[in-house]
Amino acid sequence: MADQPSSTIRLAALQMVSGPDVTANLREADRLVASAADRGASLAVLPENFALMGMHQRDKLAVAEDDGAGPIQDALAAMAERHRLWLVGGTIPIKGADDDHARAACIVFDDRGMRRARYDKIHLFDVSVSEGETYLESATLEAGSTPVVVDTPFGRLGLAVCYDLRFPELFRALSARGMDLCAVPSAFTAATGEAHWRVLVQARAVENLCYVVAPNQGGRHPNGRETHGESVVVGPWGEVLDSLARGPGVAVADYDPHRLRALRERFPVLAHRRL
């Protein structure tokens, strides 16, 4: 790993332009995780749908895995162990209650490849972005219901996914559970990303005085979908610490727990809540 100040932890947001070939996507994910590790990252976060952006909505059902077992989960565990970092595995399809639905599961592995948490996307993207661009995630996905914060060696890590960004009450629930930093794997559309992506990520950081690692899909996919990109790492004062425009790559920045603690002591907005 590259040198970094001893008091800080390097965070990495990994941007992809995933397609319908799971094997190719996993190979690209491993390349980006290796790049993040080479740049000194202790925590790397993959984007939503990193392992599959299918040609059709139901394609995810064919690769949905049992919870705790499957080639995508095995690959994530191996990446985390091989590159000796904590890895937030974007989202992968995990089998749901019936054959027609999966869960968009965000699974966290530690630097030994051990699974530490799973969060299922709560807010599903059933939206008409424009007259010709409509999404109905609930047709093939089941919504989760439980906010998740996981203990890590560098702080309490909250988990959210893409459309969750528009629901600040979820982040308040994560904050109430002691969140210090948050991972938000995403695949924002080009249109909604241009309008709202950065301001939403910054708002969630400012409101909760936390770091946010927000990797995005970023480019034109084989299925014709275009995603926004602009993966970012944002600090607790809302400052963009690093970003990446479009295309595959890595955005990195340092998380300073001492700075976070001092800021929260000087500016105790979280303790001032009344509702």
H or E element: which one contains 172?
A: helix 168-176
209 in helix, strand or coil?
coil
Cβ pair 39, 253 in contact under 8 A: no
Rounded to an integer, what distance in angstroms lies between the CA atom of residue 8 and that of residue 14?
19
165 in helix, strand or coil?
helix
Please name which of 99, 117, 121, 95 lies closest in space to residue 108, comparing C-alpha atoms. 117
Rounded to an integer, what distance in angstroms lies between the CA atom of residue 14 and that of residue 154?
19
115: how many CB neighbours lie within 10 A of its CB? 16
> Phi and psi (nearest 5°) for 101?
-140, 145
Catalytic residue among 60, 106, 142, 162: 162
Rounded to an integer, what distance in angstroms lies between the CA atom of residue 200 and that of residue 193?
10
Q: Is 210 a catalytic residue?
A: no
Label residue 205 exposed, middle or buried (CB < 10 Å: 0-12, 13-18, 19+): buried
Catalytic residue among 60, 65, 106, 121: 121
Cβ pair 129, 145 in contact under 8 A: no
Q: Is 60 a catalytic residue?
A: no
DSSP-assigned letter for residue 197: I
Please name which of 136, 143, 148 lies closest in space to residue 96, comparing C-alpha atoms. 143
Q: Is 142 a catalytic residue?
A: no
The amino acid that residue 17 corresponds to is V
Q: Could you list the active site residues? A: 48, 121, 162
